[in-house]
Amino acid sequence: MESKVFGIGAESCTIGSHEFYMGCAMKHQKLLTLDTGHFHPTEVVSDKISSVLTFIPGVALHVSRPVRWDSDHVVVFDDELKAIACEIARGKYENRVYIGLDFFDASINRIACWTIGTRNMQKALLWAALEPTAMLQKFEEEGDYTSRLAYLEEAKTYPFAAVWDYYCEKNNVPVRDNWVKCMKDYEQKVLEVRK
């Protein structure tokens, strides 16, 4: 079940409210779909994950990038994507959250859409995995909010990129922007020939 804030041609029309579908999912113990593009721009899905998982068996995430009420754009590595991944990791919800991505963007190459979006979701999950969650939770339990905040801020400058590069090398995929040349070669040698 998936809520939507807007309808085609009627942006002020609520097609199926979040509260309605959340209630249905709770009553029938079904998965609730949370689409990152189907909420008001001031709402974030990362805040909803742990709340709804208190009452339902799982969540299906439709991760996209909202652009002016249109929600199906290439996923970017922004603060909300990192917050979503951190929420999943902190709550140990990996087996209860199903992640689906969206790649629509007619202005760029389809392979680039797929690659950029997938790599960004993977980066966010790695970002979350590198967070010192156990230590942060210990500070929380002890009421040591100063240390919790200090380490949350320090974690922002940990060597994430080096770990990402190592992950790519280990999995035999292009490191950093080297994938762009591979995609351009594929575009010339395969996609252009199909036209």
Q: Is the pLDDT of residue 2 over 80?
A: no
Rounded average pLDDT over 113-137: 94
Contacts with 14 (C-beta within 8 Å, 6 or more apart), sequence order: 4, 5, 6, 7
Q: Record the pTM.
A: 0.86
What are phi and psi for residue 69, nearest 5 degrees? 75, 0
**What is the Cα–Cα distance from 25 to 32, expressed in whole angstroms?**
6
**Six-digit token pair at 175?**
């490191």
Question: Averaging pLDDT over each range in 16-20, 66-70, 105-109, 110-114, which range is the top one?
Answer: 110-114
**What is the Cα–Cα distance from 18 to 103, expressed in whole angstroms?**
23
The whole-number pLDDT of residue 68 equals 58
Residue 151 CA, distance from chain mean position: 23
pLDDT tens-place string over residues 76-94: 999 999 999 999 999 999 9
